[in-house]
Amino acid sequence: MQINLVWVKIKNGYKNLDKALYPLIGLPSYEKYLEHFKKNHPDKTPLDRGEFIRQAQMDRAKNIKC
């Protein structure tokens, strides 16, 4: 029973990762993206979470100056 509780906490933590960690490293919120997309582009299909994160990372990498 304890193992199941641990896995539930891990899964919930992973689901909420973008809410806590991503702003710290400069990545946008997927939920905010979905809200914006639904409001401004209702006739199109939004990126899935993985595609969104990859795109955000690529966009962020373009702005990094060494």
Q: Considering the domain boundaries, does residue 12 fall inside one?
A: no
pLDDT for the residue numbered 66: 47
Q: Considering the domain boundaries, does residue 11 fall inside one?
A: no
* Higher-scoring residue by pLDDT: 52, 2: 52
Based on its alpha-carbon atoms, the radius of gyration of the chain, rounded to whole angstroms, reads 15
Q: Considering the domain boundaries, does residue 65 fall inside one?
A: yes
Q: Considering the domain boundaries, does residue 22 fall inside one?
A: no
Q: Considering the domain boundaries, does residue 39 fall inside one?
A: yes
Number of domains in the chain: 1
Q: Considering the domain boundaries, does residue 50 fall inside one?
A: yes
> CA quadruple 6, 7, 9, 13: dihedral positive or negative?
positive
User: Does the reported pTM lie above 0.75?
Assistant: no
DSSP the chain: -HHHHHHHHHHHHHHTHHHHTGGGGTPPPHHHHHHHHHHH-TTSPPPPHHHHHHHHHHHHHHT---
Contact predicate 46/33, CB 8 Å: yes
pLDDT for the residue numbered 53: 84
pLDDT for the residue numbered 47: 95
